[in-house]
A = this chain, B = another copy of it.
Amino acid sequence: MAERSTIRHKLYKIIFEAETPAGKAFDVLLLVLILSSVVVVSLESVVSLRRQFLPVFQVLEWTFTIIFTLEYFLRIYTTPKPLKYVFSFFGIVDLLAIIPTYLSLFILGSQYLLVVRVLRLLRVARIFKLTRFINEGQVLTKALRASFTKIAVFLGTVLLLIVIIGSLMYIIEGAASGFTSIPTSIYWTVVTLTTVGYGDIAPQSALGQVLASVVMIMGYGIIAVPTGIVTVEMSRSDKKIAPTRVCPNCHREGHFEDASFCYNCGYKFEEFVKPTS
């Protein structure tokens, strides 16, 4: 019994963690399997290739599916809280990664199921969760979350602009030059403001081109705003020292933002110049 549970614990350490060499090896193997399975799925979508190598694809697909199925059940078996895992985000993703292949037996040639398997990519996230990258990731996400409201305001204003400009272009250009409806014009405005510029729809009239130019220069310029926001946020989440904070007792400067005692003379700060955040 005890021995069995130890095996289970060992497996748990291998499958769910990445401290042990075996755990690392497992993660690398899993990463390779996931990526190659996604490659197979996308190659399978190429008609010419599908015609030629259908059997190969099917064999590979089933191999991946069986391996992932085994892994899935191993995870359920080894984890102390099976239910919690099954209904966790990654539990559901793991299930989505294997179900489509089985379903494809009953629902034939379902292209949609094919593509669901691409979601296997999300499983890569778990692996990264276990690596040093996560710290960096946290720094990024922290910075982005901190600047969320600012970016929301910015996006809101931009969307408002897009709708109004789109409607204007609809009036100015009209169906003749491809601005067949307000939604289409809005689509064009997005394409232009983001400097993507497909060219499938382009203004023909002089006035339309003038307005378009304004939109482009606008879009070219306002990209500066989110960049500024994120940069400032990052540089803040980055520096931990408040250069303006001075100990009233020993006048030593450069205390940490969260310091409550002077690191030099141990003086207790009653009030201090908090660095704005």
Give the most central of A38, A154, A181: most B CB within 10 Å: A181
A114 to chain B, nearest CB (A): 9
Q: Is the CB of A251 within 8 A of B264?
A: yes
**Of B202, B254, B275, B276, the contact of A253 (CB 8 Å cutoff):** B254
Task: Give the nearest-CB partner of A119 in chain B.
Answer: B164
CB<8 Å pairs between A and B, sample of 6: A46-B180, A187-B209, A223-B224, A232-B235, A241-B275, A245-B254
Within 8 A of B (CB), among A144-178: 144, 149-158, 160, 163-164, 167-168, 170-171, 175
Chain B residues whose C-beta falls within 8 Å of the C-beta of A106 in the assembled complex: none
Check if A97 is an interface residue, CB within 8 A of chain B. no
A73 CA to B243 CA in the complex, in Å?
50
A119 to chain B, nearest CB (A): 7
Check if A51 is an interface residue, CB within 8 A of chain B. no
Further contacts, 17 of them, CB under 8 A, given A140-B154, A192-B196 = A42-B182, A42-B186, A47-B175, A118-B164, A121-B163, A122-B160, A132-B149, A191-B212, A198-B199, A199-B199, A224-B226, A224-B227, A231-B231, A238-B276, A240-B244, A243-B244, A245-B254
Task: Give the nearest-CB partner of A43 in chain B.
Answer: B183
Within 8 A of B (CB), among A212-229: 212-213, 216-217, 219-221, 223-229
Chain B residues whose C-beta falls within 8 Å of the C-beta of A256 in the assembled complex: 273
Q: Is the CB of B38 within 8 A of A125?
A: no
Give the most central of A150, A184, A224, A273: most B CB within 10 Å: A224
A149 CA to B263 CA in the complex, in Å?
31
Chain B residues whose C-beta falls within 8 Å of the C-beta of A119 in the assembled complex: 164
**Of B38, B47, B158, B229, the contact of A224 (CB 8 Å cutoff):** B229
* Given A180-B47, A182-B115: A190 and B217 interface contact (C-beta under 8 Å): yes
Q: Is the CB of B46 within 8 A of A275?
A: no
Chain B residues whose C-beta falls within 8 Å of the C-beta of A118 in the assembled complex: 163-164, 167, 182
Q: Is the CB of A150 within 8 A of B139?
A: yes
Chain B residues whose C-beta falls within 8 Å of the C-beta of A243 in the assembled complex: 239, 241, 243-244, 253-254
Chain B residues whose C-beta falls within 8 Å of the C-beta of A181 in the assembled complex: 42, 45-47
Check if A82 is an interface residue, CB within 8 A of chain B. no
